[in-house]
Chains A and B, each alone.
Chain A
Amino acid sequence: MQLFWLSVGFGLVTASVLAVSAVGLSLQFGITNYINFAYGDFMALGAYFSYALNNELLHLNIWVATVCGSVGMGLFAVLVNHFILAPFARRFRKTFYVLIVTFGLSLVLLNLEYSIWGADVRFFNMPMDRAHHLGPILLTNAQLIVMGIAVLLMLGVHTLLKTTRLGKSMRAMSDNTSLAMTSGIDTKRITTITWFLSGTLAGLSGTVLGITEGNLTPAAGELFLFVIFAAVIVGGVGSIYGAMAGALLIGLATEISAAYINPAYKLDIAFVILILTLLVRPSGLFARPGKA
């Protein structure tokens, strides 16, 4: 039983990282209507930004470096959209072409990370950590902070989308871009802000993934991207709340299963859940009509 509760703790931490990254991916998909296959590399690059600030350049405290690195990744995502993705999206009506561009972008970013930081495993400079018992669950300070960040961010995203003018504009645009424009919404501005938010969440989730896993490699983001896809699709593509629910389900299931069967099957477990969900609810748990 102790093993079970230990894995529940791990599951909640994984779910927190997944939720942040899945929401970032879903936000951007909802607005631009194409999947960013470079998202995993956004995560890794954001983590390296934080790593550089934490270990190489300014030797900032890990959490300060996390915030700065994530915001840096947000700005980087805005530039990537402005100079690379948006021109393709304007030129080609079919989002398929942009999808291919994001594949290419993924390769470029991955190799950029290899060329700057090499293939060696890197470690964040963390203060000494202590474990706390929360009932039967055992969690370290860093894990608690990561979970706290995720909960606050989910509440923040919910508040943004439901109550603010920006959030409502984003939802309106996600629903019908042309109607949003003729209703007076500056769609270019909303797209830019969405890329910033998506990039920031990618950078943040990449960094906290590195913190919770204890190490950082350029390929970490790409591997995690498959789990994010599973969470997003289980939740219902394009639905922010579905992404949150999918993250919780996949995060808990992969970690709890790892306690009882070989942890090497984590990814397989995620996809078994994905297939089972799609068999029962083909559009995901929180499907939104009209979104591919």
Chain B
Amino acid sequence: MPALCAEAVSAGYGRSPIITGISLTAELGTVTTIIGPNGAGKSTFIKSLVGILRPMSGRVIVNDVDITHLAGHRIPGHGMVYVPQNDNVFKRLTVRENLEVGGFASRADPRSRMEEVLGIFTDLAKAVDKKAGFLSGGQQNLLAIARALMVDPAVILLDEPTAGLSPAYTDVVWNQIERISHLNTAAVVVEQNVERALKHSDHVHIFVAGRNHVNGTADEIASLDLPSIFLGRS
């Protein structure tokens, strides 16, 4: 049973759909990336999974539970969390408070979970009483991921977690994503950088113009004529 199973999801703003009939499954312990040209609907798809946008049709199933029509705030409790690209931490709360808020949706003991999470993100452990707004961009992204992990999720959705980061920090963030997936979590990542996506993921989906153009293992996707797909020639 996959941790996440999106079936023929269509969604958009207003009446016209931006994404049409997109299906995607993600297994525990794997990294799935979504790549594609700008405006392909990658972020829209992620937002339609977490309740920010309502799917017009299709189903979203997490851990065998249909969450399609669930209120957005109840989705983390069902094991799926979301890390937005921008504004992804509570800037006026401390690092510790950010993590606490992340753990509200979980029934587990927040203190022991926080220790586990800070064990993964050792840099944050040194700054627990600092306001999140004073962290660097890269640290804020790591805090956002750490906050999402507080519920010990089955699925973590990350929208361009390395956008705007230095190459060194990009490596740090990707290493953490791989590490998280090895802790029995399904990571679904929207990524602009095709090379990095192919290097770090097990499965890759290419979205073009609101549709799932092609998907396969990283090796299968690497053998395709990607420039043609991205430039709309195939």
Total A-B residue pairs with C-beta atoms closer than 8 Å? Answer: 77
Measured between alpha carbons, how far is A168 from B81 in the docked complex, in Å? 19
- Which residues of B does A touch, CB under 8 Å? 50-52, 71-77, 81-82, 84, 87-93, 97, 100-102, 104-105, 133, 147-148, 151
A-B contact pairs, 15 of them (CB 8 A): A171-B93, A172-B90, A172-B93, A175-B92, A176-B90, A182-B72, A182-B82, A183-B101, A183-B147, A184-B73, A184-B102, A184-B151, A186-B71, A186-B73, A290-B91
Q: Known pairs A182-B73, A183-B147. 15 more at Cβ < 8 A?
A: A169-B101, A172-B93, A175-B90, A178-B87, A179-B90, A181-B52, A182-B72, A182-B84, A183-B104, A183-B148, A184-B74, A184-B75, A184-B76, A184-B151, A290-B91
> A interface, how many residues as a size bin?
20 to 34
Q: Is the beta-carbon distance between B92 and A184 smaller than 8 angstroms?
A: no
CB-nearest residue of chain B to A186: B73
CB-nearest residue of chain B to A291: B92
CB-nearest residue of chain A to B110: A165
Chain A 118-148 per-residue mask, 1 if CB under 8 angstroms from chain B, else 0: 0000000000000000000000000000000
Measured between alpha carbons, how far is A187 from B104 in the docked complex, in Å? 13
Chain A 178-201 per-residue mask, 1 if CB under 8 angstroms from chain B, else 0: 111111111100000000000000
| Nearest CB in chain B: distance from A175 CB, A | 4
Q: Is the beta-carbon distance between B102 and A168 smaller than 8 angstroms?
A: no
Measured between alpha carbons, how far is A288 from B133 in the docked complex, in Å? 11
What residues of A have a CB within 8 angstroms of the CB of B92 in the complex?
171, 174-175, 288-290
What residues of A have a CB within 8 angstroms of the CB of B77 in the complex?
184
Measured between alpha carbons, how far is A179 from B83 in the docked complex, in Å? 9
Q: Is the beta-carbon distance between A181 and B91 smaller than 8 angstroms?
A: no
* Cβ-neighbour of A171 out of B84, B87, B90 (below 8 A): B90
What residues of B have a CB within 8 angstroms of the CB of A185 in the complex?
73, 101, 104
Q: Is the beta-carbon distance between A184 and B90 smaller than 8 angstroms?
A: no
What residues of B have a CB within 8 angstroms of the CB of A180 in the complex?
90, 101
Q: Is the beta-carbon distance between A175 and B93 smaller than 8 angstroms?
A: yes
* Cβ-neighbour of A183 out of B52, B87, B91, B105 (below 8 A): B105
Measured between alpha carbons, how far is A187 from B52 in the docked complex, in Å? 13
What residues of A have a CB within 8 angstroms of the CB of B147 in the complex?
183
Q: Is the beta-carbon distance between B104 and A184 smaller than 8 angstroms?
A: yes
Q: Is the beta-carbon distance between B73 and A187 smaller than 8 angstroms?
A: yes
What residues of B have a CB within 8 angstroms of the CB of A174 in the complex?
92
Most buried by B among A172, A182, A185, A186: A182
Q: Is the beta-carbon distance between A183 and B76 smaller than 8 angstroms?
A: yes
